[in-house]
Amino acid sequence: MLVVVHTVTSGQRLLDVVRLLAADLRIQVVFTMGPDVFNNGVAELLARIGGVTLPWHLAIREQFDLAICAAYGGIENVHAPLVVIPHGAGYSKLVSRRLGGGAVAARGLYGLSAQELVRDGTVLPSAIVLAHDAERRRLAQSCPEAVAVAEVVGDASHDRLVASSRQRRAYRRALRVPDEHELVVVTSTWGPDSLFGRHAGLLRRMLAELPRDRYRIAALLHPNIWFGHGVWQIRAWLADCLKKELALVPPEADWRGALVAADHVVGDHGSAAVYGTVCGASVLLVGDVGDDVDPESAGGLLSSAAPRLLLDQPLSAQLRAAAAGHHPGRHAAVVARLTSAPGRFDRNMRRLLYRLMRLPQPLVLLRADSVPPPYLIGSPEHMAPEEKR
């Protein structure tokens, strides 16, 4: 099986799938870095994995029994039945509109539109993995030719977050959160309209304004922020925040444990804030999602329901009000829109993969695993060998 890793984000998603086959001696997994403007960091990710890696120009010359990806660059050149999975909280972002002249056309969902899925009159994937039945209906609108290969499988991150709930105390210890403190996790997607793009000073303000004997502040930044600007640059920009004990989770750490540990999630229109609803934290959004998010998606539902963090008001009072008005089922509609197969991603995904490979499945039953504990910038897990000495 060929695993096409375009970005660190898509690679992290694909590892949730690869682990379903890891113990099968009949299957050799091969990794390659697919063409993408944001593929900085992928080579390091593949080196950490330690799997067999082929350069892209060689991978597209070979025939494989199956290939899987979570982005679309160059996939028309892959010689294998191809499985495409989402790399976020389902398919929620609308296709970016090209600036310039020309008549305005309808914007499809990124990942479910014909411009990604069809080349020369042929649907490229052999299977398009969907998290929710509603996405099949959206696909029928944007690329009806592809509905025949759509598979509603579920959402791996939803299932692993639920499975990880019992590890909440361990995750809080990993993030150095005292028992009596509330953990505020600030999440940001990438781009100029993201929280970090528009309000990077919010982290400094939180560290200065929120009482240290009550709150611990952590930050989850999208890998495209880290690798678009460079790890050194992000650490340099946030050096003063790190001195004030900002818990900064590096891009190679599993981000999901931080959401399980959180009491409050402050985010934008990215997937991390949406997944925060699974973990029972209060969720506050900063700014408006604009017209880039499908209003029928889980992210669109969260945007219409979640309170806003008002930057011209005291932060502590807003967090206290969010906690007072929060209850575990507040965002039940958002969680329900994330997946229509809760707890069944592993089983459904493995069935699909083995069917396409024409192999009988192993007899062992699958159950979603808890995610590994997060770690922080400057912790031993993140330090280079020469830094540990």
Please give the structure tokens belonging to residue 205: 């303000």
The rounded percent of the chain whose pLDDT value lies above 70 is: 93
> Phi-psi category of 248—alpha, beta or left, where left has phi over 0 and alpha has psi -120 to 50?
beta
| Burial track 264-297 (b if 16+ CB lie within 10 A, e otherwise) | bbbbbbbbbbbbbbbbbbbbbbbbebeebbbeeb
Q: Strands 122-123, 118-119: parallel, antiparallel or unpaired by DSSP?
A: antiparallel
Q: In what order do the strands lie in the sheet with 82-84?
A: 52-54, 30-33, 2-5, 67-69, 82-84, 127-130, 150-152
pLDDT score of 105 = 47
Residue 386 has pLDDT above 50, yes or no: no
Please, which pLDDT band fits residue 108 given cuts at 50, 70 and 90? low
Question: pLDDT digits over 214-224, tens only?
Answer: 999 999 999 99
pLDDT of residue 329: 85
φ, ψ for residue 151 (rounded to 5)? -130, 120
Once rounded to an integer, what is the mean pLDDT over residues 161-171? 97
Q: Is the pLDDT of residue 194 over 60?
A: yes
The amino acid present at 290, given as its one-letter code, is G
What is the per-residue pLDDT for 100? 57
Distances (CA, A) of 221 to 84, 260, 267: 24, 16, 10
Which helix (H) or strand (E) covers residue 197, if one does?
helix 195-199
Give the model's pLDDT for residue 104. Answer: 43
Q: Which pLDDT value is given to residue 292?
A: 78
The pLDDT, as a whole number, for residue 367 is 82
Give residue 379's pLDDT.
57
Phi and psi at 355, nearest 5°, equal: -65, -45
- Does pLDDT of 375 surpass 50? yes
Residue 119 pairs in a beta bridge with 122
Q: What is d(CA 350, CA 368) in angstroms, rounded to the nearest whole number?
A: 12
What's the pLDDT at 378?
Answer: 74
The per-residue pLDDT of the chain, averaged, comes to 92
55 token code pair:
């350069």
* pLDDT at res. 91: 87
**pLDDT score of 385 more than 50:** no
Query: Which strands sit side by side in the sheet containing 247-248, from one edge to the other?
Result: 247-248, 215-221, 182-188, 264-267, 282-285
Q: What gap in Å lies between CA 265 and CA 104, rounded to an integer?
A: 36
- Asked whether the predicted pLDDT for residue 380 surpasses 60, the reply is no
In this prediction, residue 7 carries a pLDDT of 96
pLDDT in tens, 30-49: 999 999 999 999 999 999 99
Q: pLDDT tens digits, residue range 287-324?
A: 876 667 888 899 999 999 999 999 999 999 999 999 99
Q: pLDDT value at position 382?
A: 62
Which whole number is the average pLDDT over 357-381?
87
Range name among 88-97, 155-164, 194-203, 330-339 with the lowest pLDDT average: 88-97
Phi/psi-derived region of residue 359, left when phi > 0, alpha when psi is between -120 and 50, beta in every other case: beta
DSSP one-letter code for 109 = B
Beta bridge partners of 267: 285
> Phi then psi for 247, rounded to 5 degrees?
-90, 95
Residue 99 has pLDDT above 60, yes or no: no
The DSSP secondary structure of 15-50, one letter per residue, reads HHHHTTTTT-TT---EEEE---TT-TTHHHHHHHHT
- Give the span between the Cα atoms of 86 and 128, in whole angstroms: 9
Q: How far apart are CA 164 and CA 260, in angstroms?
A: 7
Copy the structure tokens of residue 289. Answer: 């999602």
Token pair for residue 339?
């997946």
| CA distances, 387 to each of 47, 56, 143, 376, 381 (Å) | 19, 33, 51, 15, 11
Q: How far apart are CA 112 and CA 66, in angstroms?
A: 21
Is residue 205 within 8 Å of 186, Cβ to Cβ?
no
pLDDT of 389 reads: 46
Q: How many residues does the chain have?
A: 389
Is a pLDDT exceeding 80 seen at residue 258? yes
Q: Would the pTM count as exceeding 0.85?
A: yes
Confidence of residue 107 (pLDDT cuts 50, 70, 90): low
Mean pLDDT of 107-122: 86
Does residue 387 carry a pLDDT above 50? no
State how far the Cα of 143 lies from the Cα of 3, in Å rounded to an integer.
25
Say how many Å lie between the first and final Cα of the chain, rounded.
39
Q: What pLDDT score does 383 carry?
A: 54
- The tens digit of pLDDT for each residue in 271-283 reads 999 999 999 999 9
